[in-house]
Amino acid sequence: MPGITVNNKIGSGRSGYMLVSPYIIFFALFVAYPLIFSFVLVFHHWSIVGPMEFVGLGNFAEMFSDSVYWKSIINTLVFLLIHVPLQVVSALVLAEILNRKIPARAFFRAAFFLPVVVSGVAVTVMWKQLFSTDIGILNQMLGMIGINRVPWITDPAWAMPSIAIMATWKNIGLYVVLFLAGLQSVPRQLYEAAEIDGANTVQKFLFITVPAINPVLVMVLILSTLGGFSLFIEPYVLTGGGPMNSTLSGVLYIYRQAFSFFRMGYAAAIGFTLALIVLTVVMLQRKYVEQEI
């Protein structure tokens, strides 16, 4: 760093330590200790009262044959499989439209962003009623155009896709804004030059727009993945993880094991594997998506 020399020589070392000391204490207590303790906890059975019982890799062995655990992983993948494409495509379409001279552009941007700022709990309480099979207004609207009632959150096959739709509705505004920023970074002249060379709309999109928004695309993928593996309050409020565990998420399963069954070691072990999956997926996304395009 340039220029830190002149008056900083005296005292700034001490002052530096003083200023970072709150962080060091914070880190030791709320990051380092839990991190180290998690490596102890995953090898034990513990109900939080009473002694810890060492079980070696017992928790991981149990997890391996625990069909509910695997169900929660599959549920998360189902969620991501619907949520990510839906999110990317619809956010990109809306951003592309907003990236023009259009009246009331600021209003639309603000409108799309509103669900992003409101509480997930409130959004879920609201959607629980919208999703109601017999009397919900979603099914009323479908009924008007002659489509049969959809058992949004009462049918195991529909419940997770419904949560994915709701989560997309809630988050999309953020991605519209991010894509819009990416699109606006493309110089107009590039499109004009391409037009002179005879490129059509699809070619312009593929060879100019997509490379420009690639960093945003990677970020959307990563944030969506993190979101998928953090899913908790939506299934907790909407379905309680049901019907038939079809919306049980990884974090909800941790919560259930820890606070319904008081199995801290097993819950920590589940968290441990989820963290590994998240880190691996995010690293792969960074590597491949960034290189490919």
Partner 1 sequence: MSGKFGKLILYLVLIAAACTFLYPFVWMLAGTLKPEAEIMTFSPLGSRYSLDSYKLMISKIPIFRSLFNSLLVSIISTVCVLFLCSMTGFALARLKFKGRSAIFAVILFTMVLPFQLTLIPLYVLMVKLGWVDTYAALIVPYTMSPFAILLFRQFFMAIPEELIDAARIDGLSDMGILFRLFWPLSKPALITVGIVHFMGIWNEALWPLIVVRKEEIMTMPQMVTLFAVSGQAEAQIGLQLAAAAVMILPIIIVYLFLQRYFIESMATSGLKG
Query: Which are the contacts of 135, defined by CB distance < 8 A and separation ≥ 6?
Result: none
Q: Of how many residues is the chain composed?
A: 293
Provide the residue type at 51 as one letter. Answer: P
Q: Are 177 and 113 in contact (CB under 8 A)?
A: yes
Q: How far apart are CA 130 and CA 107, in angstroms?
A: 25
Tell which one of 92, 251, 256, 285 touches partner 1 (CB under 8 A).
Answer: 251
Residues 163-202 close enough to bind partner 1 by CB under 8 A: 169, 172-174, 177-178, 181
Q: Are 69 and 270 in contact (CB under 8 A)?
A: yes
Question: In whole angstroms, how close is the CB of 103 to partner 1 at the nearest point?
Answer: 8
Q: How far apart are CA 44 and CA 56, in angstroms?
A: 7
> Cβ of 183: how many Cβ atoms within 10 Å?
18
Q: Is 110 in the site for partner 1 (CB under 8 A)?
A: yes
Question: In whole angstroms, how close is the CB of 210 to partner 1 at the nearest point?
Answer: 19
Residues 113-142 close enough to bind partner 1 by CB under 8 A: 113-122, 125-130, 132, 135-137, 140-141
- Helix H or strand E segment including 283: helix 264-292
Tell which one of 41, 82, 84, 165 touches partner 1 (CB under 8 A).
Answer: 41
Q: For partner 1, which stretch binds (CB under 8 A), given 62-70, 81-89, 112-120, 155-163?
A: 112-120
**3-state SS, residue 38:** helix
Residues 261-280 close enough to bind partner 1 by CB under 8 A: 264, 267-268, 270-272, 274-275, 278-279
Pattern 198-237, partner 1, x by CB under 8 A: ---------------------x--xx--x--xx-xx--xx
Question: In whole angstroms, how close is the CB of 44 to partner 1 at the nearest point?
Answer: 11
The dihedral through the CA atoms of 159, 165, 168, 173 has a sign that is negative
Tell which one of 86, 248, 254, 285 touches partner 1 (CB under 8 A).
Answer: 254
Q: Which is nearer to partner 1, 158 or 179 (CB)?
A: 179
Q: Is 154 in the site for partner 1 (CB under 8 A)?
A: no
Tell which one of 187, 240, 244, 287 touches partner 1 (CB under 8 A).
Answer: 240
Q: Which is nearer to partner 1, 31 or 293 (CB)?
A: 31
Residues 46-65 close enough to bind partner 1 by CB under 8 A: 48
Q: How far apart are CA 220 and CA 226, in angstroms?
A: 10
Q: Are 150 and 138 in contact (CB under 8 A)?
A: yes
Q: How far apart are CA 160 and CA 76, in angstroms?
A: 9
Question: In whole angstroms, how close is the CB of 254 to partner 1 at the nearest point?
Answer: 7
Residues 68-97 close enough to bind partner 1 by CB under 8 A: 93-94, 97
Alpha carbons within 13 angstroms on the beta-carbon side of residue 37 total 11
Tell which one of 71, 142, 190, 255 touches partner 1 (CB under 8 A).
Answer: 255
Token pair recorded at residue 72: 């929660």
